[in-house]
Amino acid sequence: MGPHPYRTFASEHRMKTVFSFAALLALALIPSHARAALGGRVETVEADRARMKGTVQVRPATAYSVHEIQAPNKVVVREFVSPAGVVFGVGWRGPFVPDMQQLLGTYFARYQAAVQAQKSSYVGRRPLNIQSPEFVVQMNGHMRAYFGRVYLPAQVPQGVKVEELW
């Protein structure tokens, strides 16, 4: 007679649990900037393009390059990359707000805290304007017409006007 069916199930279940835990641990150890754009390397633009299921077009400018992602849902995201290869700004427009966690990466928690603080200080709707030494977020719009930008003031290349970033 073979092994007891319960013991086989229990050991298989334990093995799956250990494997699942190991997979989650491996994902947690991957640096978060590898999955997001702002403050990350230029290679993170590809992760954003894949997540949005869009196409990307790169346009060089004088002091930076613009990586424009067009998604099938008509959202356009522009990622601004410095000559050092760092994404120092992100702008968007379209019928939906893009996945801010994807675009902001390690800055997302600070963004959420700033949004909560700003919302608690007023009633109603108005443009979002977060100004801090670390990052700036400006967002506005209405249903089916949203736009905004976020940038890292310390990373903006010299001579670049932030008005250029949308």
Instruction: Decide: residue 109, CB within 10 A, 0-12 exposed, 13-18 middle, 19+ buried.
Output: exposed
Helix (H, G, I), strand (E, B) or coil at 105: helix
Report whether 97 contacts 117 (CB < 8 A): no
Per-residue pLDDT of the chain (166 residues; tens, 9 = 90+): 555 555 554 444 444 433 333 333 333 333 433 444 799 999 888 888 898 999 999 999 889 999 999 999 999 999 999 999 999 999 999 999 999 998 999 999 999 998 888 877 766 677 889 999 999 999 999 888 999 999 999 999 999 999 989 8
DSSP 14-38: HHHHHHHHHHHHHHHHS-GGGG--T
Cα-trace Rg, the chain: 21
Q: What pTM did the predictor assign? A: 0.74
